[in-house]
Amino acid sequence: MAAISRVFGGFRTLMAKAATAEAVTVAVEGKGILKTFPVSQQLASFAGESELTRGSAVKKVWEYIKLHNLQNPANKREIHCDDKLKTIFGGKDKVGMTEIMKLLSPHFTKSV
């Protein structure tokens, strides 16, 4: 029983070290994919917001895809674009799931 206590006691110490001030600061400031950016008019009208994080933009696109059943049933990695998705995906009829972030990137304006 003492061996189990030693193992889990060490685990608690590791978890306490993981919650450093730097990790808390990153969540508060919003760096990387957590940082909000102004978006293009097309993406703003699609999402209903003028500023988004990259992660929330992808999430909104996937919610729309699932809601309207736009995923190809034979090939789940392929999305059939309707008129609303074509406005943000450059007029493409079909996109791969790995292309979504690449196609959304031009919609985020770079801030100085």
Tokens 């206590």 belong to which residue? 5
Is 11 a member of any domain? no
Is 89 a member of any domain? yes
Using the predicted structure, report yes or no on whether residue 5 has a pLDDT greater than 80: no
Percent of the residues in the chain that have a pLDDT greater than 70, as a whole number:
71
Domain with 101 in it: what CATH number? 1.10.245.10
Using the predicted structure, report yes or no on whether residue 76 has a pLDDT greater than 60: yes
pLDDT at 109: 82
Structural domain count of the chain = 1
Is 67 a member of any domain? yes
User: CA torsion sign, 88 to 90 to 94 to 97?
Assistant: negative
Domain holding 38, by residue range, is 31-107
Average pLDDT over residues 71-82: 95
pLDDT at 32: 73
Is 81 a member of any domain? yes
Q: What tokens appear for 52 in the block?
A: 């988004």
